[in-house]
Amino acid sequence: MEFQSLLIIAVGAIFISNFVLERFLGICPYIGVSQKLHAAFGMGMAVIFVMSMASVVTWTIYTYLLKPSTTNIIYRLIMKGQGSPPDLTYLRTITFILVIATLVQFVEMVIQKTSPGLNRTLGIYLPLITTNCAILGVSILNIESGYGFIESLVNGFASGIGFTLALILMAGLREKLELTNVPRAMRGAPIAFILAGCMSLAFLGFTGLKIG
């Protein structure tokens, strides 16, 4: 594990294949929660936190429970190392979504009990996150890219940053936009999409960026 490869993953997740603008994940909160800068910031923080957690947890579960290998826990404990390791990868989607839903509930509970300050910033955004496809998306991407534990963590964290960056930029633009005279039919979501298109165009400039 070199530092450089982690840096490549991080820059890739934030700029080159930005979760919102190039991969189209988490569009619903991107359009829905980007009217106010303050809300966008809270949502972004919640996503970064849950994404990092989810990356780590789903990676661990996939590697030690679902993937057929000799270190598979089911193979070790229940089958006692006999026969061939079970291939449960087809349960990936259902396991991941349940794990993420449970994780979000758990995080919500812990934050409520321990930190009222954090609860005020993140609290209302946490329930929305379960159905945010960015979380499930990053978990599956970690597996399909063949990342290890640390790489998954970095990818999850950086993808969250990328999401937040896009969200905050958008919120800043939309706050300014409220003062301008937009044609009636384009007000609200349509103009937000056009803005997103322009931002996506700008981010397209990062593709092909070569590091190292």
Partner 1 sequence: MLNILTRGLYKSNPVFRLMLGLCPVLAVSSSVHNAIGMGTAVIFVLVSSNFIVSLIRKMIPRRIRIPIFIMIIATFVTIVDLLMAGFSPLLHKSLGLYIPLIVVNCIILGRVETFASKNKIIFSVADGLGMGFGFTLSLVLIASFREILGNGTWLGMQIFGSKFKPAILMILPPGAFLTIGLLMGLLHWIDHYRTVHKHVHSKAR
Partner 2 sequence: MKDIIRFSLILTFVAIISAGSLSWINKITKSEILSQEQKNLTDALMEVLPGSNSQDIIPIQQEGQILYYIGYVNSMRARVNGYALIVESKGYTSTIRTLVGIDTSGTILRIKILFQEETPGLGSRCEEIRNGELIPWWQAQFQNMNINNLAVDKDGGLIQSITGATITSRAITDSIANKTKVFIETMNSAKTDKIDE
Q: Is 3 in the site for partner 2 (CB under 8 A)?
A: no
3-state secondary structure of 148: coil
Size of the site for partner 2 (CB under 8 A): 5
Q: How far is the CB of 117 from partner 1 (least distance, A)?
A: 28
Stretch 94-113 residues interacting with partner 1 (CB under 8 A) = 94, 97-98, 101
Q: Is 91 in the site for partner 2 (CB under 8 A)?
A: yes
Q: Is 35 in the site for partner 1 (CB under 8 A)?
A: no
Q: What is the C-alpha to C-alpha distance for residues 164 and 43, in angstroms, rounded to an integer?
A: 8
**Residue (3 or 90) nearer to partner 2, CB:** 90
Choose from partner 1, partner 2, none: what does 208 bind? Cβ within 5-8 Å by kind.
partner 2
Between the alpha carbon of residue 102 and those of residues 26, 99, 107, 136, 199, the distances in Å are 19, 5, 9, 13, 34
**Of these, 3, 70, 84, 90, which contacts partner 2 (CB under 8 A)?**
90
Q: What is the C-alpha to C-alpha distance for residues 128 and 130, in angstroms, rounded to an integer?
A: 6
**Residue (176 or 210) nearer to partner 2, CB:** 210
Radius of gyration of the CA atoms of the chain, in A: 19
Q: What is the C-alpha to C-alpha distance for residues 169 and 182, in angstroms, rounded to an integer?
A: 19
Q: Is 78 in the site for partner 2 (CB under 8 A)?
A: no
3-state secondary structure of 41: helix
122: enclosing H helix or E strand: helix 116-122
CA angle centred on 151, ends 121 and 19, rounded to 5°: 55
Directed axis angle between helix 149-177 and helix 133-144, to 10°?
150
20: enclosing H helix or E strand: none
| Binding flags for partner 1, 138-177, as an x/- string (CB under 8 A) | --xx--x---------------------------------
- Kindly indicate which of the ranges 45-53, 87-95, 121-129, 171-179 contains the residues binding partner 2, using the contact rule CB under 8 A: 87-95
Q: Is 23 in the site for partner 1 (CB under 8 A)?
A: yes
Residues within the interface to partner 1 (CB under 8 A): 21-28, 31-32, 90-94, 97-98, 101, 130-133, 135-137, 140-141, 144, 183-187, 189-194, 196-198, 200-201, 204
Residues within the interface to partner 2 (CB under 8 A): 90-91, 94, 207-208
